[in-house]
Amino acid sequence: MTSRTRRCPRVVCGIVAAVGEVDVQLCREMLARIKHRGPDDTGEIRRGNVWLGHQRLSIMDVAGGHQPMTDTERTTYLVTNGEIYNHRHIREDLGHDLFETGSDSEAALHALIVDGPAGLARLRGMFALAFMTEDGDFLVARDSLGVKPLYWARRDDVTLFASELRAFDPADRPLVESFPPGHCWSPNGGLVRFADAVPARVRPARRAEEPGVWDEALLKSVRETIVTAVENRMMSDVGIGVFLSGGLDSAIVAAVAAEYARRHNQPLPTFAVGAPGSSDLAAARIVADYLGTEHHEIVMSKEDARAALPKAVRAIEHYDPSLVRSSVPNLLLAEYASKRVHAVLTGEGADELFAGYSYYHEEPFTDPDALQAELVRTVKELHHLNLQRCDRTTMAFGMEARVPFLDRDVIELALSIPPEHKLVTPEKKLLREAFEGWVPEEILWRGKEQFGDGSGAKDVLEDAVRTSPDVRAADGVELRTREEAAFYSIWREELAGIRSESTLGLFATT
């Protein structure tokens, strides 16, 4: 790294972009609507028929982290949201002399400068980005899993992009669609896939002759791959914590993070939330005591849950009951944690990779081939559901959530394991055995419990929906329960104008 390189934080932010007949005032209004994603710094630039805007949370090196980012000749510009985990390798490949800051985003900038759209294949991480040149070239892209959100609205005169639905003007909301993960778009090249959430080559290595019987080599491979994924997400100049639900997945993440923190002489804050006496709070406390973390508990009263309910629906831009139930405690947790750390690790994705949900163990998924297909499907659909909740509840308070189980290497390894091994009981037995000794025994073998249930959110929210509208079809959406109708009414009020079939498909439930 050259002497002119400045240290720079990874970027927690929101982006807006437009290409075509640009209305600068409209673009600024869009950016203002997502200021919560990065309340400390606003950047914008227009070149010809392209406009880029960026909202940033300034953690350190305010000057070096400002976006839109540009090269030394000021001929290319980039706004991005997320992290490029392999930015150091990209620097090695491209040459350190190209770089002026330590920002992982600058690695994306130079990858695109050197290779054009093909440079996207270099990037490992979670990101949504928009890139333009002085000559009028323009490119937008989203990571293969859709960990970071991106939406677009295509009008005849202009194409608009933003990190959240709420950014779009009400008049444009009927046109809004989710930008597909693993794709890039340019005015000349159109929509092109550059990466798959689950690469086509990922297939189970073999059929398991003895389901539930595996050797130490497989356990070691699972353990080491997950450890590496967690440690890659611990590298930061800012405080990092862990959302600790008390379940297996977050306990594993916390255990690896705690070991990393000890080696680097760093504290590790952990955060748990639940109703008084909830099982999640008790289990999280056991894990925190075992690991010796700086533990924080948020005890959620019925009044807290009721007050947070409309905020949660608005934040996640969703009305699915199970997602809303988990979002209420998540929002309260994020609000508290954001005052103490700038990023958190979560256990998202482990259930989809290792068959943790109970329905995976019911017909028709007791057939190994059917289970494998369902696991692949649900991993690909995470950006519509759990990842949307994960991003929005944390970014509502300018804090970033990182998801180590959804590292590319973890996904490829987990989905190459014979599905028969995932049908044995207890669920996720292989994952449990891989981390024996890392977490307390009573947590290692604790049964699966949905976060909304274990936290007590489901119970404390029951009263809030007893007076909700009757179940009915609305705007082309079949509302299945009184609870869903209540959540939909909040969602619709916040995002009035989003009625098109393509957009409502963003909220399809499983």
Structure tokens at 43: 């950047």
Structure tokens at 172: 């444009």
For residue 484, how far is the Cα from the chain centroid? Answer: 23
Direct distance between the N- and C-terminal alpha carbons of the chain, in angstroms, rounded to an integer: 47
* Nearest by Cα to 344 from 418, 403, 285, 396: 403
* Nearest by Cα to 51 from 71, 12, 69, 77: 77
**C-alpha to C-alpha distance for 345 and 360, rounded to whole angstroms:** 25
Alpha-helical segments (H) within 67-116? 87-94, 104-115
**C-alpha to C-alpha distance for 214 and 219, rounded to whole angstroms:** 8
Instruction: Identify the DSSP state of 6.
Output: B
DSSP string, 404-463: GGGSHHHHHHHTTS-GGGGSSSSTTHHHHHHTBTTB-HHHHTPPP--HHHHTSHHHHHTG
Instruction: Identify the DSSP state of 456.
Output: S
Gyration radius of the chain's alpha carbons: 22
**C-alpha to C-alpha distance for 426 and 432, rounded to whole angstroms:** 9
* Nearest by Cα to 291 from 328, 332, 261, 249: 261
Q: Where are the beta strands (DSSP E) in 246-389?
A: 269-274, 294-299, 343-345
* Element of type H or E holding 178: strand 176-178
- Phi, psi of 54, deg, nearest 5: -145, 130
Give the number of other CB atoms < 10 A from CB of residue 144.
Answer: 27
Between helices 386-395 and 302-316, what is the axis angle to 10°? 110
- Phi, psi of 301, deg, nearest 5: -85, 170
Distances in Å between the Cα of 179 and the Cα atoms of 150, 156, 439 are 6, 18, 39
For residue 296, how far is the Cα from the chain centroid? Answer: 23
Residues serving a catalytic function are 13
Cβ 409 vs Cβ 346: under 8 Å = no
Q: Where are the beta strands (DSSP E) in 187-314?
A: 190-193, 240-243, 269-274, 294-299
